[in-house]
């Protein structure tokens, strides 16, 4: 016989609410949207383009996330702009990703195979690289779209979106090491940037950390258009 006591109903209700979050993120597409929104607010159109999804599918996924109170939206004229509900959602996504990385060997295997095919699997002293970035001893290149750079970036980083990089190489000093970063360890824009820079004679490496990882380390994040 099913327990229908007040205590049981209370417990069932609580776990049903917890499950709302689980159901909302039980989609690779919705997880990607959360990751993109961790970089800053974006319109539905922009999110659809960045996630390579149809506008209708993107809108439906965002509505599921909004129903679970993970994202909020504002409407200005014909455009709806989405953003993470608060910083707790960004931390939740980071924790989820770290848990997956620690439990699922397939993640590291997939990343390693991809980087090896691109010839970018060379060992990098991550902590030493972070220190060079923080001390300003290298040219830090943010290759994300300008909107994401304005929402938050590594201090002193220069904004040159990947789509513009080929035509703006003259702006990058050749006498310094270049460190390119984008949205984190699974973003390929910095990988493409490093390949292009090396092909043009620059000494370039990729920083796996994005702005969210940088912030999670307790480092300062700059906001706005200025590089410093």
Residue-range domains of the chain with CATH: 6-89 (1.10.10.10), 120-216 (3.40.250.10)
Q: Which of 50, 64, 84, 182 is catalytic?
A: 182
pLDDT at 119: 75
Active site residue 182: yes
Strands (E), the chain: 42-43, 71-76, 79-84, 139-142, 158-159, 178-181, 204-206
pLDDT along the chain (228 residues), means of 10: 85 96 97 96 95 96 97 90 96 95 95 84 76 90 95 94 96 94 93 95 93 91 74
pLDDT for position 97: 95
Q: What pLDDT is attached to residue 115?
A: 86
**d(Cα 21, Cα 89) in Å, to the nearest integer?**
11
d(CA 40, CA 216): 16
């Amino acid at each position: 016989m099913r327990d229908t006591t007040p205590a049981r109903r209370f417990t069932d209700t609580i776990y049903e609410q917890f499950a709302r979050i689980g159901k909302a993120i039980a989609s690779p597409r919705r997880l990607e949207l959360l990751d993109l929104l961790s970089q800053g607010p974006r319109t539905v159109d922009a999110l659809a383009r960045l996630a390579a999804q149809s506008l209708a599918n993107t809108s439906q996924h965002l509505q599921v996330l909004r129903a679970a109170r993970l994202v909020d939206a504002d409407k200005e004229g014909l455009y709806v702009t989405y953003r993470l509900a608060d910083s707790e959602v960004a931390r939740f996504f980071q924790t989820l990703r770290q848990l997956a990385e620690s439990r699922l060997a397939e993640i590291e295997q997939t990343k390693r195979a991809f980087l090896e095919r691109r010839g970018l699997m060379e060992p990098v002293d991550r902590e030493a690289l972070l220190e060079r970035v923080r001390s300003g001893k290298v040219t830090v290149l943010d290759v994300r779209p300008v909107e994401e750079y304005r929402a938050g970036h590594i201090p002193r980083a220069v904004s040159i979106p990947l789509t513009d990089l080929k035509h703006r190489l003259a702006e990058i000093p050749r006498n310094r090491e270049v460190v390119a970063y984008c949205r984190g360890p699974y973003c390929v824009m910095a990988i493409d940037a490093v390949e292009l820079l090396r092909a043009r004679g620059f000494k370039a490496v990729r920083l796996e950390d994005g702005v969210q990882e940088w912030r999670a380390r307790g480092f300062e994040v700059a906001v706005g258009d200025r590089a410093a």
